[in-house]
Amino acid sequence: MNYKIARSIVGLFLVFYLSASAQENSLELKNYISVTAGINYNSGAKVFLFPRASDPDLRNLYHSFDGFTSYTIDIRANIWNSTIFVGLSTEYLKTSELLYSVRGMINNSITTFQVEEGFYLYPLELSFYYIFPFSSRRYTVYMGSGFGVYYARYFRKIYDLTSSSKVSRLDYGILVNSGVDVSLIGNLNLKLELKFRDPELEFKNEFPKLDTEINGNKILLFEKTFYTKINLDGINMILGLNYRF
């Protein structure tokens, strides 16, 4: 996570809070539960293809996955004075790219194969939110922080061979977010949110076999088992529809 950016966002909202603390709170929220369905734009992730290599340059070598989407469901409830809310969210994220990352042989000639590299991510995030006093009936401005548990699966696909993965460890981490709900019609709102997080997971992956035959060509891979690591360290921008009950 880019903590300098996160601290800047927090500091900006604190300035807004201090400047508005003397104002009368014009927002009168009743106790409610809200449900949000949204689409996320993730600005980037790093994929380390050789995380256990003895060579530090090779171990730290990564490929950047830039600009991909995911889908989220978020449930929040008022727990104190229409000011403090608690929320639980989950997400479905899948992304992949074509890379030249696997060495092997075609008809006894050594080559580097173009393969599809990708991963799935399933986070479960618990957050607490503060509603700023300058919010109004037309818009609700908030900031929050919380804790996430992250589970993922990695895959590498080459021709008819697709690797399966086992997560070496789950990742746990903090997150910070800020956003605004804009009233549309009745209890329906438009949600705009920024989220900063930094999960990192390592995988042990394995192909079902090393050899196959495609269009009469004999394919042989050099490695059946391999390790990879992902680091989702970009900014998560969320656009969603929020309904309050």
Domain boundaries, the chain: 3-12+32-244
Q: In the predicted model, what is the mean pLDDT of residues 223-244?
A: 94
Supply φ then ψ for residue 136, to 5 degrees: -135, -175
Question: What confidence tens digit (pLDDT) does each residue in 19-43 have?
Answer: 444 344 445 555 689 999 999 999 9
Both tokens assigned to 97? 């790219």
Residue-wise pLDDT for 157-172, tens only, equals 999 999 999 887 789 9
Q: Summarize pLDDT for 126-135 with one digit per residue, the tens.
A: 999 999 988 8
Q: pTM of the entire structure?
A: 0.83
What does the buried/exposed string (b/e) look like for 68-88 if buried means 16 or more CB atoms within 10 Å of the residue's CB?
bebebebebebeeebbebbbe
The helix (run of H) or strand (run of E) holding residue 8 is helix 3-20
Q: Which CATH architecture is the domain 3-12+32-244 placed in?
A: Beta Barrel (2.40)
Q: Are strands 235-244 and 188-196 parallel, antiparallel or unpaired?
A: antiparallel
Is the pLDDT score of 243 beyond 90? yes
Tell me the Cα Rg of the chain: 22
Question: Rounded to the nearest 5°, which phi and psi values hold at 34?
Answer: -120, 145
Each residue's pLDDT tens digit, 172-220:
999 999 999 999 999 999 999 999 999 999 999 999 999 999 999 999 9
